[in-house]
A and B are shown apart, each in its own frame.
Chain A
Amino acid sequence: MNVVVCVKQIPDPAAPPALDAGTKNLVRAGKLILDDSDAYGVEMALQLADAAGGGEVTLVSMAPNGETSGLRTALAMGAAKAILVSDDSLAGTDALGTAKVLAAAVKRAEPDLVLAATESTDGYTGTTPVQVAELLGLPSVTFAKKVEITGNSVKVERQTEAGYDEVESPLPALVTVTAGVVEPRYPSFKGIMAAKSKPVEILTVAELGLDAGEIGAAGARQEITQVADAEARAAGEIVVDEGEGHQRVIEFLEQLKVL
């Protein structure tokens, strides 16, 4: 069974994020790493391919400057190869434009199953996977907390407001996985060494056959009109607990008439 995992390489979330003063886009110039949220999809793909008795896990990603650091992490976990779309004309691309790029790249891999995270950690638009599914004419099941393959169908436990639904779909299909669906493995030293020589195909927008007008800032058909500081909450009171901190909480709750 061949599985494609859509992965995003993002600025390190531990570093303070910033917007470009001119374009108001998220600054993505420095080193990028594999989005933590995507480690679950990669692990799930490896487990499903393994359980199906073989098949390849292919990564599909879009990033500036031919960035592959995050892809190498996923390759070190065990993915076989990667397709990276990297092109200067992609700067400013929105969720739908990204979906068009990913869909075109996914198609080349002819997968039985496409996995993605429910949303990225840096942009969290949360619609790109279903947009990819729609563009490829695939059924999709989002917010999976459990995924199983039986024969030619995928069975998913999908989060709901009240609990979860059991959902079945024939393959090929796209599934988005929540964090915690599986425990991602740490890449082994052997894996890290092997990842260095695994194939990463780097493609341009033209090579994917996409129209330049559909991507980039122009294709996004939206603009940021303003960025402002949020109304700050008045600074609160800080109490260092030396055994009586709970008393202050009780007084506070009494003040609010919660007690």
Chain B
Amino acid sequence: MSVDKIWVLAEVVDGAPITTSLELITQARSLAGTVEAVAWGDATPSVAATLGEYGVTTVHDVGDLGGALPGVPVAAAIAAAVAAGAGPDAVLFPATYDGRDIAGRLSAKLDRPVLTNVVDLIADDGGLVTQHAIFGGTQVVSARFTGEGPGIYVVRAKSFPAEPSGGAPASAVAAPAPDTGATNAARIVARHVEERTGPKLDEAAVVVSGGRGLGERDSYALIEELATLLRGAAGASRAIVDAGWVPYSHQVGQTGKTVKPTVYLACGISGATQHLVGMKNSKNIVAINKDADAPIFSVADLGIVGDVHKVLPKLIDALKSRG
């Protein structure tokens, strides 16, 4: 399968393409001669300039979805283009909630397999080879499709840098979704934004995360205080999000955010695979945990074997006294 044309799902949040989409566009440039994007919503004309700057020549605009979740209509629009012979050789999706939905729908619609949790994409022998981190990132699996395209790939955030190429604004072409009837009946009736203060979790230079080792919900205040003192963001392991201690938007890991800060402080986190895949590429990792055998220490540059309830208050006091 030769790869001449790649489509990238350009997910738009607050009027701008998300960083992961720009990362995928950047990588797609090095893999195929033509890079095009798929977008939806009313902001497409205004993001065409940004997408062009990263190398996209054409944006296929599915348009306003009328409150529908994107999974069904966007997959149907891409499938229609493929059926009409105008489709790409590969479609790259960011591993977001909507990206996964659209990729899964498209896979079933086109009867093509999907590769998810991709962390690298390499041109090889005319096709694409993917890499996937498994077993908590201790091993790397390479894979490729053997059948007919288009190849469907779901790629994790921060797998590639996002670098503009200085291209002209992309031209937008309408790619309306065909009628999908009752399958497309789910509607968003209200949106709720959970307010956060300080830097964003996936952009902060310092991330301080807490886990089960905190023992109780109230101890998460230590994580928040430490994050504030370090001008960083507060994160969490899945265990304490599931326990309802902190909102889901704080979750770092497989199903949460992927972070790559200058320093990641894991406090009372054992280091399940679920968590490691979301933070192990941090530039520096500090782990504080009372269990010396916790897997988190295998990725830590500095590991403190100790009780977070003793270490964190002293750390906070020491930072405060520095002013």
Contacts and interface: CB of A to CB of B under 8 A. Distances in A.
Contacts of A94: 113
Nearest to A160: B97
Interface string A123-137: 011111111111101
19 contacts: A17-B135, A130-B100, A134-B72, A141-B186, A142-B101, A162-B193, A163-B194, A163-B249, A221-B145, A222-B146, A230-B137, A230-B140, A233-B280, A236-B301, A237-B301, A241-B288, A246-B312, A258-B206, A259-B319
Query: Which size bracket describes the interface of A in this complex?
Result: 35 or more
Given A163-B247, A243-B310, 15 more contacts: A95-B114, A96-B108, A121-B274, A129-B104, A134-B183, A139-B186, A159-B248, A162-B13, A163-B194, A169-B186, A233-B298, A236-B297, A241-B307, A246-B318, A258-B206
Interface in B104-141: 104-105, 107-109, 111-117, 129, 133, 135, 137-141
B41 interface: no
A142 to B, nearest CB: 6
Contact of B322 (A160, A232, A259): A259
B305 A169 contact: no
Given A125-B114, A221-B146, A233 B243 contact: no
Interface in B280-303: 280, 284-286, 288, 292, 297-303
B160 to A, nearest CB: 17
Contacts of A163: 191-194, 247, 249
B205 A238 contact: no
A142 B100 contact: yes
4 A-B pairs with the lowest CB-CB distances in the bound complex, closest first: A241-B306, A221-B147, A130-B104, A127-B104
Given A126-B100, A170-B182, A180-B244, A239 B305 contact: yes
A128 B107 CA distance: 10
A256 interface: yes
Interface in A213-259: 220-230, 232-234, 236-241, 243, 245-250, 252-253, 256, 258-259
Interface of A: 17, 19, 24, 94-96, 99, 118-119, 121, 124-135, 137-143, 145, 158-170, 173, 178-180, 220-230, 232-234, 236-241, 243, 245-250, 252-253, 256, 258-259
B144 interface: yes
Nearest to B284: A256
Contacts, number: 262
Interface size, B (range): 35 or more
Q: Chain A interface mostly helix, strand, loop or mixed?
A: mixed
